[in-house]
Amino acid sequence: MNSDLTYHFAIALVRSGKKAGTLEALAKDLDRVVRLIAAERRAKFFLVHPLIPLAEKDKFLKSICETEVVRKLVLLLVETKTLDLADAVSSQFSAMVGRELGTIKATVETASALSEADRLKLEAALSEAVRSKVALETRIDPSVLAGVRIRVGDTVIDNTIETELQMVRERLAPQ
Q: What is the rounded distance in angstroms from the CA atom of residue 175 to the CA atom of residue 172?
A: 9
Q: What pLDDT digit, counting tens, does each position of 131-149 carry?
A: 777 777 777 777 777 877 8
**Of the candidates 67, 98, 129, which is a domain's last residue?**
98
Same domain, 92 and 24: yes
Same domain, 69 and 130: no
Domain hosting residue 168, numbered range: 103-172
Same domain, 108 and 142: yes
pLDDT of 32 > 70? The answer is yes
pLDDT of 1 > 70? The answer is no
Same domain, 78 and 129: no
Three-state SS at 133 = strand
Threshold 0.85, pTM exceeds: no
CATH code for the domain in which residue 41 is found: 1.10.520.20
Same domain, 84 and 6: yes
pLDDT at 59: 92
**Of the candidates 98, 122, 155, which is a domain's last residue?**
98
> Could you give the residue ranges of the DSSP H alpha helices within 21-160?
23-39, 41-48, 54-64, 68-79, 86-101, 116-130
Same domain, 111 and 86: no
